[in-house]
Amino acid sequence: MSAPAPGTLVLLRHGESVYNAENRFTGLLDVDLSDRGVHEAELAGAQLAAACAHDPSLAPHRVLTSPLVRASATAAIVAAALPGPPPLVPEWRLVERHYGAFTDDLRESVRAEYGETAYWEYRRSFDHRPPPVEEGSEAAARVADTFGRLPDAARSGMRRDTESLADVVHRLEPLWEATREALDRGENLLVVGHGNSLRAFVMLVDRLTAPEVQVLNVPTGIPLVHRFTRQTPDGGAHPGGKSRPGASLVPVHRGGRYLDADRAEAALADLEQRGGT
């Protein structure tokens, strides 16, 4: 009996948060959606629901979400608009990158303090970590509060002081493996995360290089659709139901396709102008 066709993966960055609106480093702080972010989540839900009506393969069986409220609230709003609705599954590995000493600071203040070169190296490089969060600071207390509400696996599996994007990729590898297996079984999934956790996740999905992920941006509130085919070690692609020994899932379109391409193009141009995700 032939295997089911690979499932569809939809990635969604949460709607704008109150800290996004203030241009602050949020990291592991648990902040709310802004009014605009709520609207972005509602729009994403309506667009995805309309797309599901035309193409049932887009309808998720499960919604995997970061437990941080800006992501989980987005996930709940979107899921409520979808057929089912699909269950929400918190996944701690999807939490945002720990920005260390930059946490809660305005981006322009960090740029002024550390200088242009260091600022961009910390923000966009693959393996540079920001300085550690200062013990005893208000930011450290708020980050500790977040850790206190995450499962034990998160407290033992994440750095407690600061993270590079490479660290985020490393903690997401087990989740991508579980996601890949679910997609291979034909399960459709919606994954709701953050700017940097989704950049890291896309690196795994699309097998991006470090230079490629450094320039990758992810706008808020616009679903990104990945479809897959099966490819054998000899390079042959086998779309649809047939699965051969050793076949692996590869994206049909590297980088995926935004559900609202025009809005994504405008949002990505704005992100680029403001320095990226």
User: What residues are labeled active site?
Assistant: 14, 96
Q: Could you give the C-alpha distances from 193 to 78, 162, 254, in angstroms and in order?
A: 13, 19, 19
The pair of structure tokens assigned to 262 is: 């025009």
Omega of the bond prior to 85 within 30 degrees of 0, cis? yes
Amino acid type, 162? T
Are 73 and 32 in contact by the 8 Å Cβ rule? The answer is yes
**Cα dihedral 59/253/166/88 (nearest 10):** 0
- What does residue 153 show for φ and ψ, rounded to 5 degrees? -60, -35
Are 186 and 240 in contact by the 8 Å Cβ rule? The answer is no
Cβ-proximal residues to 130 (8 Å cutoff; 6+ apart), any chain: 99, 100, 101, 102, 122, 162
